């Protein structure tokens, strides 16, 4: 069965520092991978996705992620974080379509705190 592991429950970085959030997945075929962000009191918003092709994908808000098949990883990065990036970040893998809809398996999430 598909699964997603986000090893870091909570990360704190200083404003302006670089960021990397880790994500490892388990899936037998070529995965469809996603990163979503959840700000306090809000629903989830898609940051970026990987389906195929270039393994380095660009997303919104200056985020990027790199798919590494050999490591079963899809880590999220940002060169310089802003205070507004404080949120919860979720990695997800596609687990099959459901007659045109979709099924995603999410990781546990990583809470990002930004120090001023």
Partner 1 sequence: ETGVTQTPRHLVMGMTNKKSLKCEQHLGHNAMYWYKQSAKKPLELMFVYNFKEQTENNSVPSRFSPECPNSSHLFLHLHTLQPEDSALYLCASSQSGTGYEKLFFGSGTQLSVL
**Counting contacts by CB under 8 A, is residue 70 touching partner 1?**
no
Q: Residue 90 CB, nearest distance to partner 1 (Å)?
A: 7
Q: 3-state secondary structure string, the chain?
A: CCEEECCCCEEEEECCCCEEECCEEECCCCCCEEEEEECCCCCEEEEEEECCCCCEEECHHHCEEEEEHHHCEEEEEECCCCHHHCEEEEEEEEEEEECCEEEEEECCCEEEEEEC
**Counting contacts by CB under 8 A, is residue 59 touching partner 1?**
no
Q: Residue 80 CB, nearest distance to partner 1 (Å)?
A: 26
Q: Residue 107 CB, nearest distance to partner 1 (Å)?
A: 6
User: Per-residue x/- marks for partner 1, 2-31, CB under 8 A?
Assistant: --x----x----------------------
| Total residue length of the chain | 116
The tokens 């809000």 sit on which residue?
Answer: 42
Among 107, 110, 112, 114, binds partner 1 (CB under 8 A): 107
| Site residues (vs partner 1, CB under 8 A) | 4, 9, 32, 34, 36, 41-46, 49, 51, 90, 94, 97-109
């Amino acid at each position: 069965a598909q699964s997603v592991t986000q090893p870091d429950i909570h990360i704190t970085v200083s404003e302006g520092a670089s960021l990397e959030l880790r994500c490892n997945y388990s899936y037998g075929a070529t995965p469809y991978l996603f990163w979503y962000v959840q700000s306090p009191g809000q629903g989830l918003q898609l940051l970026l996705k990987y389906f195929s092709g270039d393994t380095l994908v660009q997303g919104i808000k200056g985020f990027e992620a790199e798919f590494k098949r050999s490591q079963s990883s899809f880590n999220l990065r940002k060169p310089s974080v802003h205070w507004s990036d404080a949120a919860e970040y979720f990695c997800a893998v596609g687990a099959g379509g459901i007659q045109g809809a979709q099924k995603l398996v999410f990781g546990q999430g990583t809470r990002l705190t930004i120090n001023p």
